[in-house]
Amino acid sequence: MKKIISVFSNILAIVGVIGFWSGSYFYNENTEIPLGDIKGFVVDKENNIYVGSGFYEKVQVYDEDGNFLKNWDLEAYGGTFTMNLTEHEEILITTARGNEQIWFNKNGRILSQKKIGNGTYEESKRDWRTFTTKENVQYEIKGTIFHELVRLNPKKTIINQNLFLQIIKGPFNIWLLIVIGGIISYLLKVKK
């Protein structure tokens, strides 16, 4: 039994370390990433949902039923950003580090990019957990460790990732795996 626990603790620690160091390197545009370190989301007029992940520095796209469509990279300089939808249905990313605003079309192509003043990021901030469409449909991200995206009127869970993606998402869950795996390994060595 001790051997099984030891193997399990090592697997937890290894998955945590790989998850942390992989960041977005193992994920291409056709691979759904864990929704970790969410910086915001927007919903376009076709009800497609665009979710920004700070840890992975990607925007992930879902259809109105929560089916993964694609994702694309963005450069947030390892920092935080805000995410807004323009009146022309462009996704606007404003970075805190790097002082940039980047306009993307719905396919993830950069339309425009410009340097901004330090106050622009603060002015672009909004509640990252909520979004209301022009048609007054409200969406909200629920949960603290395990996130799900819910449409509030009428109420329906749209995005609820599988348990594996929920567990390996960065940065918090990955650190948790590393710590738990390390503690179990340490306790097994102390008992010997």
In this structure, the answer to whether residues 132 and 37 fall within a common structural domain is yes
Residue 165 forms part of a structural domain: no
Residue 189 forms part of a structural domain: yes
In this structure, the answer to whether residues 184 and 138 fall within a common structural domain is no
Q: Which domain holds residue 8?
A: 1-23+170-192
In this structure, the answer to whether residues 95 and 155 fall within a common structural domain is yes
pLDDT on residue 134? 92
Model's pTM, two decimal places?
0.78
In this structure, the answer to whether residues 71 and 126 fall within a common structural domain is yes
pLDDT on residue 56? 83
Question: Does residue 12 contact residue 121 with C-beta atoms inside 8 Å?
Answer: no
> What's the mean per-residue pLDDT of the chain?
84
Residue 12 forms part of a structural domain: yes
Return the percentage of the chain with pLDDT > 90, whole number: 45
- Domains in the chain: how many in total? 2
In this structure, the answer to whether residues 94 and 129 fall within a common structural domain is yes
More confident residue, 48 or 146: 48
In this structure, the answer to whether residues 115 and 188 fall within a common structural domain is no
Cα separation, 148 vs 71, whole angstroms: 18
Residue 35 forms part of a structural domain: yes
The stretch 9-13 carries a mean pLDDT of: 68
Residue 55 forms part of a structural domain: yes
More confident residue, 12 or 67: 67
Put the strands of the sheet holding 138-142 in their side by side order: 130-132, 138-142, 148-152, 155-159
Cα separation, 27 vs 188, whole angstroms: 34
pLDDT on residue 146? 82
pLDDT tens by residue, 20-65: 555 555 666 788 888 878 899 999 999 999 999 888 889 999 999 9
Residue 110 forms part of a structural domain: yes
Residue 116 forms part of a structural domain: yes
In this structure, the answer to whether residues 153 and 120 fall within a common structural domain is yes
In this structure, the answer to whether residues 40 and 59 fall within a common structural domain is yes
In this structure, the answer to whether residues 132 and 84 fall within a common structural domain is yes
In this structure, the answer to whether residues 56 and 89 fall within a common structural domain is yes
